Amino acid sequence: MTTLIAFVLTLGVLIVAHEWGHYRVARACGVKVLRFSIGLGRPIWRRQSGETEWVIGLLPLGGYVKMLDEREGPVPPHDRARAFNNIALSRRAAIVAAGPAANLLLAVALYAVSFWIGTDEPRALLATPPAASLAERAGVQAGDLVHRVLVLDADAGSASSGDSYEVASLGDLRWQLTRAALAGRDVVMTVSRGARPPAGHVDGATGDTPSVASEPAATHDLRLALSSLGASDPDPALMKRVGIGAPFSEPVLGKIVSGGPAEKAGLQKGDVVLNIDGRVPADAAALRAMIRASVVGTADPIPQAWRVSRAGKDIDIAVTPARVLDQGGAIGRIEAAIGGPVRMDLVRLGPWEGLTRGVQRTIETSVLSVKMFGRMLIGEASLRNLSGPLTIADYAGQSAHLGLAYYLGFLALVSISLGVLNLLPLPMLDGGHLLYYLIEAVSGRPLPDAWIEWLQRGGLVFIVAMMSLALFNDVARLAGLQ
């Protein structure tokens, strides 16, 4: 039920914002608005207020603002000056652009409120990177605390020029690394090593610069060669290739599965793993790697000599992991949760900083969305990145369960996607109409009605195909096929 409510609320808020933008600018430009509809199809509620009929349609998958227009029916002589087709070209363009602009402005506001409320985020403490990953080659070690990243200019041969960003959380770090990887730019991370302060409260409202902790004096720089990845999709595998995975956690055992190798060996929840066969696991990620490596090829699992700390005592235990298949290969597994509590911080910004960060995040996400649309059109990025209503509903429910700030951030992301999508120069979309007006401004005359009719039909076919593909991707994703 929460998912359904969150989904309907998401669509309602975004559609209202989009159509309200068209409506308000139309009124400001002197155009008579006949109907403001949220939803499509048969009206299930309507009300006349002044000149405008307010409607809620049966299908909550869109909306529209119907304006007085001589192309759609007869217009009384006294109202001709208020018809959409009779106003100046600049005003028509402003009315059309107002819908997407409203979505982008809404995203700024939603991000700002989300930043003001604050979210509990994993601290940017790095886990042991996977073997052969960029992070391992750069020298990342378990427990490295990232303070800032410098996104190098494309032609920078050294770490001297680029855009610098403070890192407030692990999610913040992943966002900056994703943007840099898709842009083909290397980054330099400024990290401190060995300082793992307890989880705290990062509060930008105090006037201090928000960060994960007060930066110690001893820091050093690590360069990630993201340009070597040739990344084109922001998929989950990207961060695996970079080597920035789950946050740092201690090598502690959690829930033990009944009848599994861990229980049979005598391991217990809360055991702190000191070493395996004399090798000390730096963190939970390293411990998992050691367990997985106990199986080589088709051979039986190799028994391991574990030393754990339990209730202040060191205990030696022989553990033989089970041999299981994972993505076509054999690995070892002990059937127990691994990893202690992740260090979390409440990341919250003050009024001005939250607003400016909202503007910055909206611009960054808009630019990334445009680039991804372009790459999908020319075949450089997978069409699997397209998402439809089922994915939106799923993510809406998940973010709503996490809390208001997370849900507002999700709303902002979808609002940006809706705004950017509508600005694409495709017939049937707002961007297509703006393209018509640009041609009219350059040529001095509007496109012939016959041309517009054919373009609209072609645009409709394209949009239906895109929506069908998005729905297919939704079903495949939810079914675990992608």
Query: Would residue 53 show up in a list of annotated catalytic residues for this protein?
Result: no
CA neighbor of 254 nearest in space, from 337, 372, 151, 150 = 337
Q: Residue 220 pairs with which residues in a beta bridge?
A: 191
Interhelix angle 2-28/404-423, rounded to 10 degrees, is 50
| Sheet of strand 313-319: strand arrangement | 272-276, 304-310, 313-319
- Nearest Cα neighbor of 35 from 63, 10, 15 is 63
Backbone angles phi, psi at 39, to 5 degrees: 100, 160
Could you report how far apart the first and last alpha carbons of the chain are, in Å? Answer: 26
Number of H helices, E strands in the chain: 12, 16
Q: Assess contact for 160 and 208: CB atoms under 8 A.
A: no
- Nearest CA among 292, 314, 312, 313 for reference residue 304: 292
Single-letter amino acid code for the residue at 263: E
Measured over the CA atoms of residue 374, residue 375, residue 379 and residue 383, the dihedral's sign is negative
Pairing of strands 201-203, 344-348: parallel
Cβ atoms of 21 and 103 within 8 Å: the answer is yes
3-state secondary structure of 138: helix
Instruction: Name residue 41's amino acid.
Output: G
User: Which of 363, 417, 357, 355 has the alpha carbon at shortest distance from 10?
Assistant: 417
Q: Report DSSP letters for 110-130, one per residue.
A: HHHHHHHH-EEEE-SBBPPPP
Tokens of 273: 């793993």
H-run or E-run covering 189: strand 187-192
Residue from 19, 121, 335, 353 carrying the catalytic annotation: 19
What Rg, from alpha-carbon coordinates, does the chain have? 28
Whole-angstrom distance, CA of residue 17 vs CA of residue 100: 9
* 424, HSE (Cβ side, Cα atoms, 13 Å): 22
Q: Give the alpha-carbon dihedral of 378, 379, 385, 389, to 10 degrees.
A: 60
Alpha-carbon span 182 to 348, nearest angstrom: 28
**Interatomic CA distance for residues 85 and 92, integer angstroms:** 8
The length of the chain is 482
Active-site residues, by number, are: 19
